[in-house]
Amino acid sequence: MSLSIVELATARDAVMMILDELRIDAFLYSLEPKDDAWELIVECACQVNGGWERIELQVPKAMLLGSFDDNVARQRFLEFWKDKLADCKLR
């Protein structure tokens, strides 16, 4: 697997942009590059019990990189992640 610093930075920026659009209040995340599907781990403050929740998602590399400039791809992530991160406390 060949990964450039630019690709990793773009992917991380895309994740931050999407998480910010979801208006999650308090979170940490890590993005682990794999071959074609990267692993995104989001830990967020939970609005239900006040604790923290850990969510693991498989993210297609090409789609994530494309979502930085492609509104349609970003909207797909927003819709999918909104369901997966539904218990996260919002701003």
Please report the pLDDT score of residue 2 as a whole number.
64
Tens digits of pLDDT across the chain (91 residues):
567 888 889 999 999 989 999 999 899 999 998 888 899 999 999 988 789 999 999 998 888 888 878 888 888 888 999 999 999 999 8
Both tokens assigned to 4: 């450039």
**3-class secondary structure, 18:** helix
Given a contact cutoff of 8 angstroms between Cβ atoms, the answer to whether 27 and 45 are in contact is yes
Which residue, 40, 43, 42, is CA-closest to 63?
40
Amino acid 43: pLDDT:
96
Do 21 and 78 meet the contact criterion of CB atoms below 8 Å apart?
Answer: yes
- As a whole number of angstroms, the distance between CA 3 and CA 50 comes to 37
CA distance 31 to 38: 7
Please report the pLDDT score of residue 39 as a whole number.
Answer: 95
